[in-house]
Structure 1
Amino acid sequence: MHFLNLTDVELEALRLSLWVSGWAVAASLPLGILAAWVLARLRFPGKNLLDGLIHLPLVLPPVVTGYLLLVLLGRNGVIGAWLYQLGIVLAFNWKGAVLAAAVMSFPLLVRAVRLSLEGVDQGLEAAARTLGAGPLRVFFTVTLPLMIPGIITGLILAFARSLGEFGATITFVSNIRGQTQTLPLALYTFTQVPDGEMAAMRLCILSVTIAMLALICSEVLARRYASRLQG
C-alpha cells in the first residue's frame, strides 16, 4: 500500500496536470470546431497550407514547438513583449503550460471533429434550410448534434495528449514545482535524483492509468451517443 501513497510533490503534479489539461481542452474546443468546419466544408487558396500548419505540431519535435512559442510569446518575444506591456505573461507559468498543451493537442482535436463532420449527411442540412432555417440555426440544431461523437473523441484524446505533454512544456515554461511541473515533468525530475525510482514508477503507472481510462471513456461515450442518434 505504501507504493500507492502519493507524496505532496506527486499530488501537486497530478492536480496541476489535470488543471492544465482541462483548460487546454476547454480553450481549444471552439477554435477546433471552427478549424474542422473550415477544412471540411470550404474551398479556398491556401487550404492545404492551413491544414499543414494545424497538423504541424504532430510531426515537429515538441522541443521545436516549445522553442517557437518561447520566441514568439516569451517576455522578450515578438508577440510576448507586447503582451507583457499589457500585463499578460505566458512564459514560465501555468498559463504557458496550458498554451503549450493546447498547441500540441490541437491537431488531434481538429482531426477527430473533422472526420465526424465529414460523415454528417449534408442532405439533412439542406432539408433544414428548405424549411427556412438559417445557416447558424442549421449548424446548431442539425450539424453540431451529429458531430457530438467526434467532438467527444477529440476532447478526450486532446485531454490525454495534454496530460502527456513534455517537450514543448519544459522548453516554453521550464520545470517549476507548483507552477509548471506537470506529471511528465515530475516523472523526469524523479529519474534524475537518487532514490527517485519508486516515485517515478508511481507517476508512470498513474499516467498510464489516466490515459487508458480516457481512451476507454472516449470509445464508450462515442459509441453510446452514436447508438442514441441511430435509435
Structure 2
Amino acid sequence: MATPRRSSVNPVTGRIPWILVLPALIGLVFLALPMVGLLVRTPWSTLGERLAAPGVLEALRLSLITATCATAACLVFGVPLAWLLARVAFPGRRLVRALVTVPLVLPPVVGGVALLLVLGRRGLVGQWLDQVFGFSLPFTTAGVVVAEAFVAMPFLVISVEGALRAADLRYEEAAATLGASRWTVFRRVTLPLVAPGITAGAVLCWARALGEFGATITFAGNFPGQTQTMPLAVYLALESDPEAAIVLSLVLLVVSVVVLASLRDRWVNSP
C-alpha cells in the first residue's frame, strides 16, 4: 500500500502559506550562505597539495583516532546509562538526566575548565592519579579523548534513551517468561531492538567529537602531533595561512554532510 503524500498547502485554507515562505527562505539563506562562501573561497587548484601537507594529515589522523576512541568510550558507558534512565525508576532520575544533558548547553571552554579542576594535576581526581599512578591526563592525547567524550556522550545517551522508550517491551517480557536471564534479554533482545538508535547516536557522537574545539584546547592544549586535532589546526592556520584554514574547514564540512546524509532516512521517517 502506497504511503499518502503530505500536502504542501494549508489544510484549512487550501492555499500555500506565503507569509511563512519569506522568513523560511531567509532562514535557509542564513544557514546555507556561509557554507556556500566556504566552497567559493576554497583554493581548488591547490587543494590536493594542501591536503597532502604533513600537518594536515597529522591533524586529520589524530582527529579520526581520538574521535573514534571517544565514541567507543561513550558506547561503553553511555548505553548502560541510557538504559538506566529509560528503564529504571529511581530517586533523582530527573536530576541525573539533567546532568547528562548539561554538556549540550555548557560552553565547551567551561567544560574544559571543569575537566582541569577535576582531572588536572591539582584537581580533585587528577592529583590522586598523579600521586598514585604517576599519570596525568591534561595536555596529552588521552586528554583529547576525555574532552571529546565529555561533550559528545549526551548525543549518544539521548538517542539511545529515546530508542529504549520507543521499543516494544513485550519482546523483552516474552524472553524473560521463557527463562532468559536479564543479561541475555539485554544482549539478545534489547540491543537488537534499539540498534538503529545506538547507531544514530554513535554517528552523532563521533561527529561531535570530531568537531570539538573549546574543551580540547582548554584541557589538552594545541600541540602538533599530540593534541592538535582538525578544529585546532583550523584555528592555528587562520592566523598565518587562511587558505589552509579553508581547506581544513572544507574537510570538516564534508564529514558533517556525510554524517547528516547517513542519518537522513532516520530523521525523515521518524513519526
- Specify the TM-score bucket, using the shorter chain as the normaliser: over 0.9
**Residue of structure 1 equivalent to 2:159:** 112
Q: Which has the larger radius of gyration?
A: 2
**Residue of structure 2 equivalent to 1:157:** 204
**Residue of structure 1 equivalent to 2:98:** 52
Alignment of 1:205-224 (within 5 A): 205-219=250-264
Alignment of 1:158-173 (within 5 A): 158-173=205-220
Q: Residues 40 and 118 of structure 1 are in contact (CA less than 8 Å); yes or no, is this contact kept in structure 2? A: yes
Q: Give the distance between the partners of 2:47 and 2:245, measured in 1 at CA.
A: 11
Q: Give the distance between the partners of 1:212 and 1:192, measured in 2 at CA.
A: 26
**Residue of structure 1 equivalent to 2:247:** 202
What's the CA shift for 1:213?
1.2
Runs of 4+ in 1 over 3 A off after TM superposition: none
- Spell out, residue by residue over 1:188-227, the C-alpha distance to the aligned partner (whole angstroms, 9 max, x if none): 001122xx1110000010000012112223446x69xx9x
- 2:146 counterpart of 1:99: yes
Query: Structure 1: where are the runs of 5+ without partners?
Result: 227-231
Q: Give the distance between the partners of 1:8 and 1:218, measured in 2 at CA.
A: 32
What's the CA shift for 1:87?
2.4
- Spell out, residue by residue over 1:76-131, the C-alpha distance to the aligned partner (whole angstroms, 9 max, x if none): 21111111120221100110000000010000000111111111100111111111
Aligned pairs, number: 221
> 33, 57, 82: which is aligned to 2:79?
33
What's the CA shift for 1:4?
2.8
- Spell out, residue by residue over 1:117-152, the C-alpha distance to the aligned partner (whole angstroms, 9 max, x if none): 111100111111111111111111111101100010
**Residue of structure 2 equivalent to 1:229:** none
Residue 48 of structure 2 aligns to which amino acid in structure 1? L
> 78, 81, 86: which is aligned to 2:127?
81
**Residue of structure 2 equivalent to 1:4:** 48
**Residue of structure 1 equivalent to 2:225:** 178
Name the TM-score, length of structure 1 as normaliser: 0.92
Q: Residues 175 and 181 of structure 1 are in contact (CA less than 8 Å); yes or no, is this contact kept in structure 2? A: yes
Residue 62 of structure 2 aligns to which amino acid in structure 1? L
Name the TM-score, length of structure 2 as normaliser: 0.79
Q: Residues 153 and 219 of structure 1 are in contact (CA less than 8 Å); yes or no, is this contact kept in structure 2? A: no
Q: Give the distance between the partners of 1:53 and 1:9, measured in 2 at CA.
A: 37
Q: Residues 125 and 143 of structure 1 are in contact (CA less than 8 Å); yes or no, is this contact kept in structure 2? A: yes
Q: Residues 156 and 215 of structure 1 are in contact (CA less than 8 Å); yes or no, is this contact kept in structure 2? A: no
Q: Give the distance between the partners of 2:116 and 2:150, measured in 1 at CA.
A: 13
